Structures are given as C-alpha cells and as structure tokens.
Amino acid sequence: MRRLTYALPILAAALSTAPAPTAASATGHGQGHRGCVSVRPDVGFYQAGRVATEILTVPDSPCRTISVSHVKDPASPSDRCQTFLVGFYPLVNGSLTYTDPVTACGPRRTVLARDVPNGTRYIVLYDVDYLEQRIQFRVHH
C-alpha cells in the first residue's frame, strides 16, 4: 500500500483504530467473498480526477475483503471498466492509507483489499474519464 496526501475537508471527519488491510489483485475469487454485504454507496466528494464514496464501515460479517462489481457508466453503456482504489482510516500524518489502483469491469466482483477487519472505516475512489462522469457500482464488504 502507499500513502497519498489530498487536502480534503471530509478526511478530518472520521478516525478509526482498525489495522490497515492488505491490497489485492484484480483477480479476486474465493473464500473472502463469503458472507459479504453488498451496498451501492453515495458519492462523497470529487477531487484531482477521482470521485470518492461516502465513508463506509465494514459490518460484522465473515467477509474479509472489499470488492466492487456491476461497474457501468450510465452515460456510456458500453463503458463497463474503471480504475478503483480504497482509502483506509485512520489518518496517518494527515492522510489516508491507500491500496494500489485496480481495474474492475462489468458485473464480476473484483477484490480491492483483503484481510479487512470488521469495523474498518474506508472510502472507495475511482478515476474519472471526463468531468461529470458518475460510475455506478456495488461495493461488497
């Protein structure tokens, strides 16, 4: 994982004591998906070419991953791929801790992070291809 610094007012809003999970590759199937809760998060903010979700919290469940699925751009139905990453709380030196970017496509689940403890607070970010782009996707945690 790597740390990036963004001056975002929303970052100061939440802190957590959960340890940082590990990054994952784009090919994520297996036991980590068992018992995952699926949500369609609201938009939290836009900055520097990325859109972030609202702050999410991993529920008490056997799920140990954070993944995305059902990726699509409603304004361009043939566009079903996007680059995602996860930013984890608590802040470290004023910044979230981020996973490496992973490309996710279509309805298939793509794991963004593994070994995520229950109660972990995080945001999912995706790169935008044009200014007003809003990608639809589901988060499984």
pLDDT in tens, 96-135: 999 999 999 999 999 999 999 999 999 999 999 998 899 9
Instruction: For residue 41, count other CB atoms closer than 10 A to its CB.
Output: 17
Distances (CA, A) of 80 to 1, 33, 92, 108, 121: 26, 21, 33, 11, 27
What residue ranges define each of the domains in the chain, with the CATH number in brackets? 2-140 (2.60.120)
Q: At residue 29, does pLDDT exceed 80?
A: no
Q: Which residue has the higher pLDDT, 14 or 36?
A: 36
H-only helix segments in 21-67: none
